[in-house]
Structures are given as structure tokens and as C-alpha cells.
């Protein structure tokens, strides 16, 4: 199973749309995971027309998105247990907090910081943040993740960077 993992798209405030490279990844994915800060429901609608979408709302998402998306999503994907939430709090202590809050999952996807993150805590919980494909903030590039899951295991996670070193270069 091929997963596309994104967060903090902020469409249409930070970008008119997601970059073409990300849309190609949508079309190649079996499931799209979006960890919040969509900003407008139109992106959710567009993604749902092209893929199976699992999403959560973020702090920048209004009533339309909150009516359709949970704060925390949980799903089994190819025998692996996933949870997703937008915010996990400060980086300091994140791994321990998340391990306590999500003891029954294999992978926790989160967003909010726009900073890519991939760690595995003692006990086996893997934490993933894809960064942002449209708003790099202080990062060197805009980013997203893909993952392959098979037979109850996450077999590959890849961080993809988008071309350009300035925020507008990440856009179409």
C-alpha cells in the first residue's frame, strides 16, 4: 500500500494550489493522509475526487472543515495501526508525550510545525511529520512524505523535497 503524507498545505492562503509533483503523488497513492491546516474545504473536495483521504483538522481550519474532519483520526492500513493529529505540542518531550497518548498505534502522523520529523521512540511508536509542500517557513525546502506499508510493517518512508529555496518557488 502506497501512502502520501502531507500537512500544512494552507491552500489558498499560502499557495493557490498544491505543487504538480504533489498532485502526481496523490494519483500514485492508495491513501492520502493530511494532518491538518487545509484552510479551505475545496482542497479536501479535490483530494477526495482523486484518492481515499484520511484527514484531521488543524488550528487554521474553520467550521466547514471541522464539520467533516476529526481532531484525531485512527486507521488500520495494511495491518499497521496509524493515528493522526495536527498538533503534538513543543518538540521538547514530544516523543514521551506521544508514546503515552498513543500507546495503541504503530505510527503517529502530525503537522503544525512545518518541520519534517521521523523518529521511533522506545516501545516502537514512529512519529512522522511531512513538513509542508507549500510553506517551508524556516526550512530549506518545501516537503512531503511517502510511505509503503505491507504485511503489517512500514517498509519505507521517503522525505521528498520540492524544487526551489523560496516559498513561492514551491508553488505552481
Distances (CA, A) of 100 to 78, 88, 120: 24, 12, 14
Query: Are 26 and 5 a contacting pair, CB within 8 Å?
Result: no
Supply the range of the domain harboring residue 74: 2-170
Q: What is residue 104's predicted lDDT score, i.e. its pLDDT?
A: 96
| Nearest CA among 52, 35, 47 for reference residue 108 | 35
Q: In the prediction, which pLDDT does 167 show?
A: 44
Task: Please give the Cα distance from 38 to 150 (Å, whole number).
Answer: 28
Residue in the block written with cell 514521551: 96
- The pLDDT value recorded for residue 166 is 42
Interval 20-33 mean pLDDT: 97
pLDDT of 17 over the 90 cut:
yes
- In this predicted structure, what is the pLDDT of residue 52? 98
Residue 12 in grid coordinates: 489558498
**What pLDDT sits at residue 164?**
60
Mean pLDDT value of segment 23-28:
97
Query: Could you report the per-residue pLDDT of 83-120, keeping only the tens digit for each?
Result: 999 999 999 999 999 999 999 999 999 999 999 999 99
pLDDT digit string, tens, across residues 114-171: 999 999 999 999 999 999 999 998 899 999 999 999 999 999 999 999 986 444 434 4
Task: For residues 90 and 55, give the distance between their C-alpha atoms in angstroms, rounded to a whole number.
Answer: 22
Q: Of all residues in the chain, what percent carry a pLDDT higher than 70? A: 95
- The CATH number of residue 35's host domain is 3.60.21.10
First to last CA, the chain: 28
Q: How many domains does the chain have?
A: 1
Amino acid at each position: 500500500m502506497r501512502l502520501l503524507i502531507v500537512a500544512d498545505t494552507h491552500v489558498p492562503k499560502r499557495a493557490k494550489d498544491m505543487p504538480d509533483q504533489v498532485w502526481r503523488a496523490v494519483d500514485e497513492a492508495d491513501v492520502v493522509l493530511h494532518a491538518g491546516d487545509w484552510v479551505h474545504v475545496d482542497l479536501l473536495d479535490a483530494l477526495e475526487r482523486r484518492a481515499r483521504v484520511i484527514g484531521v483538522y488543524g488550528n487554521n481550519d474553520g467550521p466547514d472543515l471541522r464539520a467533516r474532519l476529526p481532531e484525531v483520526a485512527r486507521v488500520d492500513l495494511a495491518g499497521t495501526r496509524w493515528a493522526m493529529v495536527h498538533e503534538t505540542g513543543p518538540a521538547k518531550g514530544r516523543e514521551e508525550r506521544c508514546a503515552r497518548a498513543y500507546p495503541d498505534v504503530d505510527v503517529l502522523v502530525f503537522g503544525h510545525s512545518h518541520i519534517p520529523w521521523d523518529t521511533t521512540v522506545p516501545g516502537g511508536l514512529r512519529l512522522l511529520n511531512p513538513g509542508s509542500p507549500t510553506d517551508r517557513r524556516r526550512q530549506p525546502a518545501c516537503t512531503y512524505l511517502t510511505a509503503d506499508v505491507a504485511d503489517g510493517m512500514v517498509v519505507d518512508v521517503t522525505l521528498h523535497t520540492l524544487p526551489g529555496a523560496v516559498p513561492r518557488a514551491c508553488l505552481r
